[in-house]
Amino acid sequence: MADPHYVAFFRHGDYHQRKGVPSARQPWALTYHGIDQAQAGAGLLLEMIAEFGLTLSPKIHSSRQLRAWQTACILADGLEASGLRIDEITETSGLGERSLGSAANLTVAEVEDALRNDPRYDAPPIGWKSDSDYCLPLEGAESLMQSGARVAEYITQTAEPNRLTVYVGHGASYRHACYLLGILNREDIAAYSMFHARPSLICHQRDGTWRHLAGAWKIRPPKDDPKD
């Protein structure tokens, strides 16, 4: 990447998350509050574009989860209402949250019960849900770090030179991606969260490094359970 590449990544807005279920692949829609958050997020992005003098790519990238796609659509409407052009919203599995594979959308208790009753596997360790490196021994599952590597690779491959490319995805995979891109330290992964539908601006610089330019991280309270 000889020329700078600018990236704005959004965590989806608030949505109808089912309690007790790891939130990665839940198929539920945004709440009314989430819709408001996404509308406000478009305004924040416009402020960043003006402040840094950026040229917006007409393509928004979104994960395939409904909450992310809805957030992307609302962002597109807000940007277009301000005179900017959006031609396409591209859905991709590359921006998805950590996959639990065949345990998708089971509760934490159900996942643990399934492994406890399967003679092939050991019980998952305490705190497995937020362990960056633990991967459930189930078909299609990945660790949080693996999901971050997937997201980092997708962003690296699709960010456009001398433009701002917008991505809508999920908090945990974004944080792990930022660690792998050199933006966060390892201890920051658990210390930080992301605000719903607020943009974070990063830049791939001419020297080959990534730099965080704008958009505050949300400080996670001690022992708070990480969410996507």
CA 159/CA 161 separation, integer angstroms: 7
User: In b/e form, how buried is each residue of 12-38, taking b as 16+ CB within 10 angstroms?
Assistant: bbbbeeeeebbbbbbeeebbeebbbbb
| Residue ranges covered by each domain of the chain | 5-219
- Does residue 75 come out as left (phi exceeding 0), alpha (psi in the -120 to 50 range) or beta? alpha
In the block, residue with structure tokens 């189930």: 138
Q: Give residue for tokens 């701002």.
A: 164
Please list the pLDDT of the chain residue by residue as tens digits (228 residues): 479 999 999 999 999 999 889 877 899 999 999 999 999 999 999 999 999 999 999 999 999 999 999 999 999 999 999 999 999 999 999 999 999 999 999 999 999 999 999 999 998 999 999 999 999 999 999 999 999 999 999 999 999 999 999 999 999 999 999 999 999 999 999 999 999 999 999 999 999 999 999 999 999 876 666 556
pTM of structure: 0.95
What is the CB-side half-sphere exposure of residue 44 using CA atoms within 13 A?
21
Say which CATH architecture domain 5-219 belongs to: 3-Layer(aba) Sandwich (3.40)
